[in-house]
Structure 1
């Protein structure tokens, strides 16, 4: 659909342009977004923040207003071309590219769909989730899967690589990501390169320590699954979680 554009020219000879310093501090785009958040900004404010500066004759707010007038709001601005934007007095190639990039990012966000998330409801589900990836590793990897309240995996991260030790796998590293992701629970995995998933004393100590810390933070450790060669051991089933 062709962009509907109406020409708006800047009449700088009949009246002086308002500068950003003439605007009350509480009404300036930058201060408004700092104090109240982006949702309290007008379309003109947001465009001004993208452009960052005006011209010698136009403040950034006035320039933003003219852009909205020329494209009749956001409806046609989203379809604007580089040529149409640079035809506006005060919009050079750099500012036009900034606007085009922002519009494209908005389109991508609007059409983004979260892929179906993996659901882990049992030790078998957990083992299946990581088996092919972890069974062939030649060094021990400690991996955490962070879950939401529906037991869907929202993030997976390798927390540590090396021989498992209670003093090395620190709860801080495990729970930092859990809190950042607002996880309801987590599942720990680590592999035994020997192929034998039998838990060691260190495996059990690490599990107990993480479970206790999880209780304090309100993030449940659902399981600690040790991965071997097409075999696994669930420490939940062994009574350690």
Structure 2
């Protein structure tokens, strides 16, 4: 449950941001700055409080659609579109900053990046990440969208692009929209097939990472991969 606390500041949000910095503002105040104005019955702070209470959590708010936002009093199409644009821009900024390094330095760090990138996916996506000899990312390619199983997740297509990009290493990533990253039997079978196929090709299969809701499962970290 998202809790909104009443505020009694001597300055309005814009003034507080200029004086103190954005880190010292509450979620309610930050949203009020974006909304700019309230309604005839609600101040802008009251309006932002009402919106956050309605969605209960910031995660629910982040996933809200234009249509859902427009159902709230005081939110017309302009404000709804601006909110959605703000959320998407924030997501892109976060993702771009993490992509700068372009190198897989460990499963934990890489999984944090992937959780941000795959948070909004409603279907399973299987992504192959091709690396050079220093684990720098050569290319990330979505292989397919759907359920990971032995029929659809064919190593041949994945390895075709590994050869094409002259990759030395490979990380496989897929998400579980249910939020639970625990690997299924199909995930285990697929990982074994990929290990065998990579071994025959001389390609280092570094990890298979399953992304859930703010959680992940690394086959490498859990000792389910061959030593690399």
Scaled by the length of structure 1, what TM-score is found?
Answer: 0.51
Is 1:143 aligned with 2:127? yes
1:211 match: secondary structure: helix
1:194-222 Cα offsets, whole Å, 9 max, x none, are: 11101111011101100110000011110
Aligned mate of 1:127, from 103, 108, 111: 111
Deviations 1:159-178, CA, capped at 9 Å, x for gaps? 01101101211011111111
Q: Does 1:207 align with 2:172?
A: no
Moved >4 Å (runs of 4+): none
Q: CA deviation at 1:122?
A: 1.1
Kindly state the Cα deviation for residue 132 of structure 1 after the two structures are TM-superposed.
Answer: 1.2
Equivalent residues of 1:135, 1:195 under 8 A apart: no
Task: Mark the structure with the bigger radius of gyration.
Answer: 1
User: Counterparts of 1:117 and 1:217 in 2: how far apart (Å)?
Assistant: 28
Contact residue 120 and residue 153 of structure 1 kept, 8 A: yes
- Match of residue 207, structure 2, among 209, 223, 229: 223
Does residue 1:154 correspond to 2:168, yes or no?
no
CA distance in 1, matches of 2:119, 2:190: 20
1:116 shift after superposition = 5.4
The answer to whether the 8 A contact 1:127-1:225 is kept is: yes
Q: Tell me the alpha carbon deviations over residues 59-107 of structure 1, each in whole angstroms, 9 at most, x when there is no partner.
A: xxxxxxxxxxxxxxxxxxxxxxxxxxxxxxxxxxxxxxxxxxxxxxxxx
**Does 1:167 find its partner at 2:154?**
no
What is the CA–CA distance in structure 1 between the aligned matches of 2:112 and 2:142, rounded to whole Å?
17
Aligned to 1:177: 161
| CA distance 1:168–1:235, change in 2 (3 Å) | same
2:182 to 187, 193, 198: 198
CA distance in 1 between partners of 2:158 and 2:109 (Å): 21
1:151 Cα deviation after fit:
0.6
How many residue pairs were aligned? 127
* Structure 1 residues not aligned, in runs of 5+: 1-114
Q: What is the deviation of 1:117? A: 4.6
RMSD (Å), alpha carbons: 1.4
What SS does the aligned partner of 1:165 have?
coil
1:68 matched to which residue of 2? none
Distance 1:221 1:129 in 2: 19
